[in-house]
Amino acid sequence: MKRRNFLTLSAGAAAGAALAACGNEGPGGSESGGGGSASYWSLSGEPGEPYRKAAIDRFNKANPDSKITPTFFQNDAYKQKIKTALGANQAPTLIWGWGGGGLKSYVEAGQVEDLTGLFGDAALKGKLLPGSFGAATVNGKIYAMPVETVQPIVLYYNKKIFDQVGVSAPQTYGDILDLIPKFNAKGIAPFSLAGQSRWTNMMWLEFMLDRNAGSEVFDNVFAGKPGSWSDPAVLDMLTKVQDLVKMNAFQKGFASTAADTNADQALLYTGKAAMMVHGSWSYGIQKAQGGKFVPDGGLGWMNFPPIDGGKGDPSNTVGNPGQYLSISSKATAADKETAKKFFSTTLVDEEEKAGWVKSGGVPVLANSDSLYTGDDAQFQKDMSAIAAGAKTFAQSWDQALSPTAAEVLLDNIAKLFQLQVSPQQWVDNMNGVIGK
Amino acid sequence: MTTLAPPVVRGQEPTRSRGGRSDSVLVWMVLPAFVMFVFFGIVPLLGVVLLSFATWNGITPTIELTGLTSWKAALTNPGLPNALWVTFLIMALSWLVQTPLSILLGTFMARQSRYRGFLAVFYFIPLLLSSAAIAITYKSLLDPNFGLGAGLGIDALNQDWLGQANLAIATLIFVVSWQFIPFHSLIYQGAVRQIPQSMYEAAQIDGAGRVRQFFNITLPQIKYTIITSSTLMVVGSLTFFDLIWVLTAGGPGDATRALAVQMYQLGFQASLMGPASAIAVILVLVGIGLSLLLRRIGGRADQSQMEGA
Amino acid sequence: MTPTPAGTRAGQVPEPAAAGTRASRKFAERNWVGGSFAWLWLIVVMVPLYWLVITSFKTQANYFVTNPLKPPSEFTFENYQLVIESDFVRYFMNSVVVTVGAVLPATLISFMAAYAVVRGAGNRFLQGVNGIFLMGLAIPLQAVVIPVYLIIIKMELYNTLQAIILPSIAFAIPLSVLVLANFIRDVPKELFESMRMDGATEWGTMWRLAFPLTRPALVTVVIYNAVGIWNGYLLPLILTQSPEKATIPLALASFQTQFGVNVPAVAASVTLTTVPIVLLYAIGRRQLVSGLTAGFSK
């Protein structure tokens, strides 16, 4: 009882201290003193890290008086780290990200520099794929530079399994429905899906909605129009997804398969599953881990097929139109200059382009087609064609929406696949967070 | 050396210290821990309490105080009852499973022999692994397509361990037990070894069998240890995060989404620092309530024992 | 109901051999239930450990293709090479510095605090402090990490090992005080009285009476805290930045790349981290066990 008195006392004093701590932080970013040095945070690991490092090394070599210092973090760690750092005004000069809703929240918090002026230079802007700027633009202004690679999501299939069962690749969604019982009859999972990771399930919804109803529904959601999910095509699409779950279209235990361990991809290359919807980066993983599977031509891929009677343009695709680098608005003027120089020189040079092609990806830099000559040429050409030929290249929903809405979306998607919510409940729940 | 004097009635709380001199020494003794804890524990906690009355997305430079908005959002969140239930379930089940098994193992290991010492070395190992490493291991072993079942060719083991609501909770409890039983049995081992041999000898003379000896001597004698160990288990279970996060990420659906997971998802994924902080405050309050409750139970045990003596 | 050793003098070393004979006489009959469960538990404990070790010798490419419970047909050391080349030794040393640097002071000040809390049962301030410690038991680290981060930045300790050590000490205190205080409470009042009669000060009583008698609890607390801090991930992640300051759990995370976990490499680094400690334990076990056994029965 007496304890309580003591508590209130110290509470008052310390709360003041905590507030003060949150309020006035010095400009963060570089601990280094000298002008023209920039810090850079990004993701660690293959396939990206070596090429990120190489770009910085090139820049530092070419500009001896300025220096960029990189630090690499694992994916989840990075997300937490960057958020904490931004909140404490300790962000690095160069902020790596996924564009879209996350970038928008940085912009609203006044954390990132307006780069519209920099890209006013048509020669610089022209070196990048035009479609990649959408996710870098907030309220008509550009706040990030598209970098690295374009990653559409595609339908992969195991050709050997298709031959073994004696069926051919699906041309329409109807074909897919026909294939499901055939694979199930042979004890092969029709689709591999890492259901625990949630964004993997989301890829299905993105395609199902687009093929069913076209790109307008999600555009409306993105624009914050109330009730946008109430389109009857959404209900229809959600019902189709739950039908897939009910007819065992996904492997046993898909709800506990996580994408982190690549177990979903292993199901495909070990022949335990026949098909998989996944990002273009999965190609590199299957090639690295699947032994002879990819080199022997076991892997097939295609854009997601049209749904019979659907309104969507079959050329549409979804995925990551690029990765994005922003400049912290809290950085010193000299650091910002260094960062901009990095953007306009090193990140658009030929070595950068060649590097990302070598990584097996499709660079966001334009005119890369002539570089596709290696083992992966066919895949890269096809991805490039899908990305360039898409009438709409939609950004993944969870990246496009605000983090708050994205979390509700992922939560409801997981429950939809668990049959924990009905399509109608899903629509109601999602309408509730439009514009949030 | 091993002659033991007859057990002496245990004193109540040490008597109220008399002289102010002695008390001021005691205050000096508590001060280093107190200062450290206030500085890095209480001050941040108050920051969290403050945040729970604010709206903050985690990245804006200014934090807006908005009264009860965040609390309202946290308390009306449809996920909250489920998170509370899951937290309770994990707490209760992990206590129910771990306590008897830890006592059993601890009692067994208390007897010294070479092969038990050998076993103890292996029992100790799970203690050394991080929750994340344990979770990665179990996730691989329990994979219905690539895990134990496939390895042994036993179909019964090919369950969707982490993909079905009830199974996922059960699996989680199992993994928690795997991780923490070694520690608790170590505590019980120490406690059982302190029970004076004379008590067992007396019981044997009275013709009490092993089972009766266990219930009449061993259990009452390790009462305080049981309370300490239970406090660690119960309060500790509130903050399980790494393990759940890697193992199930709160899934399937929201079947394993305990409060700590819910808090992380709200704060770091949905950028709702206010409601996340409100949940943190709830967690702390529940924790305080539980530790006080357990202390009360401990106190009562204390007294009844005195009366009995 | 704590047994009082006749004429105990604090600081005497127990003789394990004697304790052994006493213990084995105690359980003259066989403990069948305990025995069979103990062997069952051994299997339960060993399967995942076995899996970790054999997986650490598999390549990432054949990890999914091979039987998870069979050793690989060709052992590869590439995972160990990868782990060691990624500066494992430095991470290991950092982890040692952080763990030792946090556990020793944390245990020491917690012990002092626990002693004061028990002895000062009638002192409101001390009981208030104890209440605050109790409250600390349930503070989830994820919740307070942002304020802690701000404090560390204010103190200009960001990206130092102290930045990990200081909050680790603070968060070890509540549990340590709880366990130690419960144990000190069991020390018979008469012993304190007789120390007082002998004219010992509180400090003297604490060191010469309470400290040796609390050894089992101290060992427990040290193990519990050391394990927690050794495996801590969140504090090093948020409070440090450069690889020179990284600890082992961070290094472990670095094998989780952008597009997936390199499971064999994780297995290798877990194995590498664990083996030295297991060896240490196997060698020092007698010490540890006698520490746990040493109580009042001397």
* Block mean pLDDT (10 aa), chain B, length 309: 39 44 83 94 91 85 85 90 94 96 88 74 84 86 83 78 89 94 86 84 86 88 85 85 85 88 86 89 86 72 34
Residue C60 lies in a domain: yes
| pLDDT score of C290 more than 60 | no
- CB–CB of C132 and A80 under 8 A? no
Do residue A131 and residue A265 come from a single domain? Answer: no
* Tokens found for residue A372: 């596709």
Rounded Cα distance between C51 and B291, Å, is 38
Do residue C54 and residue C190 come from a single domain? Answer: no
C242 to chain A: nearest residue by CA? Answer: A71
Do residue A327 and residue A248 come from a single domain? Answer: no
Do residue A208 and residue A341 come from a single domain? Answer: no
Sequence length of chain A is 436
Give me the CATH number covering residue A71: 3.40.190.10
* Tokens found for residue A134: 């959408």
Residues 6 or more apart in contact with residue C188 via CB below 8 angstroms:
B8, B10, B11, C2, C4
Instruction: Name which of C62, C64, C78, C248 to mutate to probe chain A: the one with the most chain A Cβ atoms within 10 A of its Cβ.
Output: C64
Do residue C122 and residue C269 come from a single domain? Answer: yes
How many domains would you assign to chain C?
A: 2
- CB–CB of B139 and A406 under 8 A? no
List chains touching B (3+ CB pairs under 8 A): A, C
- CB–CB of C64 and A46 under 8 A? no
Collect all residues of chain A within an 8 Å Cβ-Cβ radius of residue B143. 253, 256-257, 263
pLDDT, residue A335, reads 93
HSE of C176, CA atoms in CB hemisphere, 13 A: 33
User: Band of the pLDDT at C27, cuts 50, 70, 90?
Assistant: very low
- Entry pTM: 0.82
Residue C95 lies in a domain: yes
pLDDT in tens, C34-44: 778 888 999 99
Do residue C97 and residue C39 come from a single domain? Answer: no
* Tokens found for residue B59: 């990245």
Q: What percent of chain C has pLDDT over 90?
A: 20
Rounded Cα distance between C22 and A206, Å, is 71
Collect all residues of chain B within an 8 Å Cβ-Cβ radius of residue A6. none
Residue C13 lies in a domain: no
- CB–CB of A88 and C259 under 8 A? no
* Tokens found for residue B142: 């329990």
* Tokens found for residue A265: 């991809």
pLDDT, residue A152, reads 94
Residue C199 sits at the chain B interface (C-beta within 8 Å): no
- CB–CB of A262 and C261 under 8 A? yes
Nearest to B284 among C5, C135, C293 (CB): C135
Domain limits for position C64: 30-76
Cα–Cα distances (Å) from C260 to A218, C165, C257, in that order, read: 29, 30, 5
Residue C236 lies in a domain: yes
Do residue C48 and residue C174 come from a single domain? Answer: no
Residue C231 sits at the chain B interface (C-beta within 8 Å): yes
Rg (CA), chain C: 23
Cα–Cα distances (Å) from A280 to A144, A156, A358, A386, in that order, read: 22, 9, 14, 11
Here the contacts of B21-27 (C-beta below 8 Å, separation 24 or greater) are B22/C119, B22/C202, B23/C120, B23/C123, B23/C126, B25/C201, B25/C202, B25/C203, B26/C115, B26/C116, B26/C119, B26/C120, B26/C123, B26/C126, B26/C202, B27/C116, B27/C120, B27/C123, B27/C125, B27/C126
Residue B181 sits at the chain A interface (C-beta within 8 Å): no
Phi, psi values for residue C83, rounded to 5°: -65, -45
Shortest distance between the Cα of C43 and any Cα of chain A, in A, equals 25
Nearest to A253 among B44, B56, B144 (CB): B144
Shortest distance between the Cα of C226 and any Cα of chain B, in A, equals 9
User: Band of the pLDDT at C8, cuts 50, 70, 90?
Assistant: very low
Residue B236 sits at the chain A interface (C-beta within 8 Å): no
Angle at Cα A125 formed by Cα A124 and Cα A126, nearest 5°?
A: 90
Shortest distance between the Cα of C77 and any Cα of chain B, in A, equals 19
pLDDT, residue B298, reads 65
Instruction: Name which of A73, A96, A281, A294 to mutate to probe chain C: the one with the most chain C Cβ atoms within 10 A of its Cβ.
Output: A73
Domain limits for position A246: 152-319+397-431
Nearest to A74 among C65, C253, C263 (CB): C253
Q: What percent of chain C has pLDDT over 70?
A: 82
Residue A140 lies in a domain: yes
Do residue C62 and residue C43 come from a single domain? Answer: yes
Collect all residues of chain B within an 8 Å Cβ-Cβ radius of residue A202. none
Query: What does the DSSP assignment read for B3-47?
Result: -BPPPPPPPSSPP---SHHHHHHHHHHHHHHHHHHIIIIIHHHHH
Torsion of CA C73, C74, C78, C84, to 10 degrees: 80
pLDDT, residue C120, reads 87
- CB–CB of A263 and B146 under 8 A? yes
Rounded Cα distance between A294 and A283, Å, is 8
- CB–CB of A402 and B254 under 8 A? no
How many domains would you assign to chain A?
A: 2
Shortest distance between the Cα of C120 and any Cα of chain A, in A, equals 15
Distance, first Cα to last Cα, chain A: 43
Residue A260 sits at the chain C interface (C-beta within 8 Å): yes
pLDDT in tens, A187-209: 999 999 999 888 999 999 999 99
Average pLDDT over residues C212-219: 83
The answer to whether B109 and B193 have CB atoms below 8 angstroms apart is no
Q: What are the extents of the domains in chain B?
A: 86-257
Residue B213 sits at the chain C interface (C-beta within 8 Å): no
Do residue A158 and residue A214 come from a single domain? Answer: yes
DSSP 3-state assignment of C267?
A: helix
Cα–Cα distances (Å) from B191 to A92, B204, B216, B233, in that order, read: 52, 21, 15, 17
| pLDDT score of C10 more than 70 | no
- CB–CB of B29 and C112 under 8 A? yes
Nearest to A291 among C65, C149, C261 (CB): C65
Do residue A267 and residue A132 come from a single domain? Answer: no
- CB–CB of B151 and C202 under 8 A? no
Do residue A189 and residue A96 come from a single domain? Answer: no
Q: Please tell us whether the domain made up of B86-257 is placed in CATH 2.60.40.1260.
A: no
Cα–Cα distances (Å) from A254 to B47, B265, B273, in that order, read: 40, 22, 31
Do residue C43 and residue C65 come from a single domain? Answer: yes
User: Band of the pLDDT at C288, cuts 50, 70, 90?
Assistant: low
pLDDT, residue C11, reads 36
Spell out, as residue ranges, where chain A has pLDDT lower than 70: 1-35
Residues 6 or more apart in contact with residue A120 via CB below 8 angstroms:
none
**Max CA separation in chain B (angstroms):** 75
Do residue A295 and residue A157 come from a single domain? Answer: yes
- CB–CB of B269 and A407 under 8 A? yes
Collect all residues of chain A within an 8 Å Cβ-Cβ radius of residue B266. 407
Residue A31 lies in a domain: no
Do residue A123 and residue A228 come from a single domain? Answer: no
Do residue A139 and residue A163 come from a single domain? Answer: no
Q: At what angle do helices A199-213 and A403-417 cross, to 10 degrees?
A: 90
Phi, psi values for residue B63, rounded to 5°: -115, 130
Residue C67 sits at the chain A interface (C-beta within 8 Å): no
List chains touching C (3+ CB pairs under 8 A): A, B
Do residue C204 and residue C252 come from a single domain? Answer: yes
pLDDT, residue A8, reads 31
Do residue C34 and residue C111 come from a single domain? Answer: no
Counted across chains A and C, CB pairs separated by less than 8 A come out at 99
In chain C, how many H helices and how many E strands? 14, 2
Residue C260 sits at the chain B interface (C-beta within 8 Å): no
Residue B242 sits at the chain A interface (C-beta within 8 Å): no
